[in-house]
Amino acid sequence: MLSKQDNELITNTDPGTPMGDLFRRFWLPVALSSELPGPDCVPTRIKVLGEQLIAFRDSQGNPGLVDAFCPHRGAPMFFARNEENGLRCVYHGWKFDVTGKCTDLPNAPEGETFKNKVEIKCYPSVDAGDLIWAYMGPKDKQPPFPEFPWTKLPANHRHLAKFRLECNYLQAMEGDYDPSHAPFLHSTFLPPTPLQQQAQGTYYRSPDNRGVGNSNPDEQYPKVVGDRRVTDKRAQQFGKLFDDEAAMLSVRFQDQPDGKVSASVGVTWWMPLFCTAGNALPGHLSSNMRVPIDNESMMFYRLRWSWEPMTEDMVQEYKHGGWTHPEMIPGTWKTRDNVFNDYNVDRLAQRNFSYTGIKTFPLQDIAMMENQWGPIADREQEHLTSSDYMIIKVRRRLLKAARDLQNGIEPTEPWHPEIYRMHRETAVAATPEQAFEEATRKAKTDLLAEFEAQTVTV
């Protein structure tokens, strides 16, 4: 649980709040690059961290992110003309470039000099990995760009989707590093037979559908719990956590037959909102980014990526397979099954085939996330258990970083962009400490450099 005050502190990312200030020390995704299709494209509305903004591209194709309201008399920049390297307010013609500078002020004789005194609020933005990213903090604290390898790979190595959720970022993010939920929420009652796969369509489509058997003879209602029950033995498989600059590492140790020990080291979460969990096609990696729109809604960027190019079949499976990605309402960022229709839960399927009766993997999560005591979970009412250990650790870390910043202690994490390169690696050694150290060293090796070297050789 959290106190009322801590819950308010950790969930409120509005401008001028402690958590809002902390988030504004990091580069965050704010739109898909495809929302700004080319030079001088139509401007689009964006709301991030409680701020209303307008995104556009100038005549060179550079992205710009400016206040949604003109500094003259507050007219909506959404209706602005995007012309010759700038956005011109249609009310009285003031024009601004992608740096926020006023380049023309034609409605008054003093315009030629007065324009030098006027700026529109503007945030630095870049295109990377099919996303527009923004830095919304103080100019003198702007950090280097995080070195996620997938931002540097060719576009056919990624599949990126975006959905709007009606809840606070934190409860959605916490679902990613919640190790005991998947055998319940995401499971089917039995591994599917080929016939069931055909018959049950989306409930059984994935090779990773986590069917859980019912082999526990003492279980009175095996379909309800069965082998899902977390015992001491299974709890030992939960990872141990270590902080490493911007990353929270999850480490699994395993004794080897020869007396040595192996350590598998990977990142579960990077400051402040980057997660690696989630189901994907074999060989693919996940990145889930949940960016607050405001405190009661957020944008979910769901990325699947690979060191190998994705085939058209894989992309089609993501888009239309009905398992890893939900169907959308065309022209919106809303899923067809959503909070307003109870995700079209199928109670017959729930009784007989799947644990939830909700189709598609992420919607099973979203149905929980959007309804945890409402859009901002009241964590004062929680009763956490040992399986919530990652959730507790991330909260502590975010709260500490936000409090430190209020006390003038800047976060160091944004200044370690190389940590965002990390991947999972395993090492075997005589002691757990040595295995951990070696696996961590390997997990920090630069696979992108290796990829680029190979590409050049070919």
Q: Which of 70, 246, 247, 303 binds ligand FES (CB under 6 A)?
A: 70
365 binds, among ligand FES, Fe ion, none (CB under 5 to 8 A by kind): Fe ion
Is residue 40 a contact residue for Fe ion (CB under 5 A)? no
Instruction: Find which of Fe ion, ligand FES, none residue 152 binds, CB within 5 to 8 Å per kind.
Output: none
Residue 91 found at the interface with ligand FES (CB under 6 A): yes
For 340, the token pair is 């307003």
The two structure tokens encoding residue 310: 């994705």
Among 47, 81, 92, 181, binds ligand FES (CB under 6 A): 92
Q: Which one among 72, 101, 393, 424 touches ligand FES, defined by CB under 6 A?
A: 72
Residue 333 site contact among Fe ion, ligand FES, none (CB < 5 to 8 Å, cut-off depends on kind): none
> Residue 367 Cβ, how far from ligand FES at the closest point, in Å?
43
Residue 344 phi/psi, 5° resolution?
Answer: 50, 45
Between 6 and 67, name the residue whose CB sits nearer to ligand FES.
Answer: 67
CB of 136 to ligand FES, least distance (A): 22
DSSP assignment letter at 226: G
275: partner contacted, choices Fe ion, ligand FES, none (Cβ within 5-8 A by kind)? none
448 interface partner picked from Fe ion, ligand FES, none, CB below 5 to 8 A per type: none
393 binds, among Fe ion, ligand FES, none (CB under 5 to 8 A by kind): none
Site for ligand FES in 248-267 (CB under 6 A): none
- List, as one string, the DSSP characters of 395-439: HHHHHHHHHHHHTT---SGGG-GGGGG---EEEEESSHHHHHHHH
210 binds, among Fe ion, ligand FES, none (CB under 5 to 8 A by kind): none
Q: How far apart are CA 204 and CA 353, in angstroms?
A: 9
Tell me: does residue 67 bind Fe ion (CB under 5 A).
Answer: no
Report the partner that residue 428 touches, choosing among ligand FES, Fe ion, none (CB closer than 5 to 8 A by kind): none
Residue 58 makes contact with Fe ion by CB under 5 A? no
Kindly state whether residue 365 participates in binding Fe ion, applying the rule CB under 5 A: yes
In the complex, what is the shortest distance from the CB of residue 360 to ligand FES, in angstroms, rounded to a whole number?
44
Q: Taking each helix axis from N to C terminus, what angle separates 4-11 and 389-406, rounded to the nearest 10 degrees?
A: 80
If one asks whether residue 126 binds ligand FES (CB under 6 A), the answer comes out as no
- Enumerate residues 6+ apart whose C-beta is below 8 A from 135: 24, 26, 27, 28, 123, 124, 125, 142, 143
Q: Structure tokens of 205?
A: 């489509």
Measured distance CA(219)–CA(399) in Å, rounded: 41
Cβ(324)–Cβ(364) below 8 Å: no
CB of 155 to ligand FES, least distance (A): 37
370 near Fe ion, rule: CB under 5 A = no
* Residue 89 found at the interface with ligand FES (CB under 6 A): yes
Q: Residue 90 or 392: which CB sits closer to ligand FES?
A: 90
- State the minimum distance, in angstroms, from the CB of residue 43 to ligand FES: 14
Applying CB under 6 A, the span of 91-99, 131-139, 162-170, 175-183 interacting with ligand FES comes to 91-99
Nearer to Fe ion among residue 174 and residue 365 (C-beta): 365
Q: Which is nearer to Fe ion, 58 or 365 (CB)?
A: 365
Taking CB within 5 to 8 Å according to partner kind, which of ligand FES, Fe ion, none is near residue 419? none
Q: Find all residues with CB under 8 Å of 86, minimum gap 6, and list them.
A: 58, 95, 96, 97, 98, 103, 104
Residue 75 lies near ligand FES (rule: CB under 6 A): yes
Element (H, E) at 244: strand 240-244
| Residue 305 exposure: Cα atoms within 13 Å on the Cβ side | 22
Nearer to Fe ion, 166 or 178 (CB): 178
Read out DSSP for 119-157?
Answer: B--EE-EEEETTEEEEE-S-GGGPPPPP--GGGTS-GGG
Report whether the peptide linkage leading into residue 272 is cis, meaning its omega lies within 30 degrees of zero: yes
Confirm or reject binding of residue 73 to ligand FES (CB under 6 A): yes
User: Of residues 94, 150, 169, 177, which one binds ligand FES by CB under 6 A?
Assistant: 94
Residues of the chain by 3-state class (helix, strand, coil), percent to 5: 30, 25, 45
Which pairs with CB-CB distance under 8 Å and at least 24 residues apart come from 117-124? Answer: 118/71, 118/72, 118/94, 119/71, 120/66, 120/67, 120/70, 120/71, 120/77, 120/96, 121/66, 121/67, 121/71, 122/64, 122/65, 122/66, 122/67, 122/96, 122/98, 123/53, 123/65, 123/66, 124/65
Provide φ and ψ at 399, rounded to 5°: -65, -40
Question: How many positions of this chain bind ligand FES (CB under 6 A)?
Answer: 9
Q: Considering the rule CB under 6 A, would residue 291 count as an interface residue with ligand FES?
A: no
- Applying CB under 5 A, which residues contact Fe ion? 365
Give the footprint of ligand FES on this chain (CB under 6 A).
Answer: 70, 72-73, 75, 89, 91-94
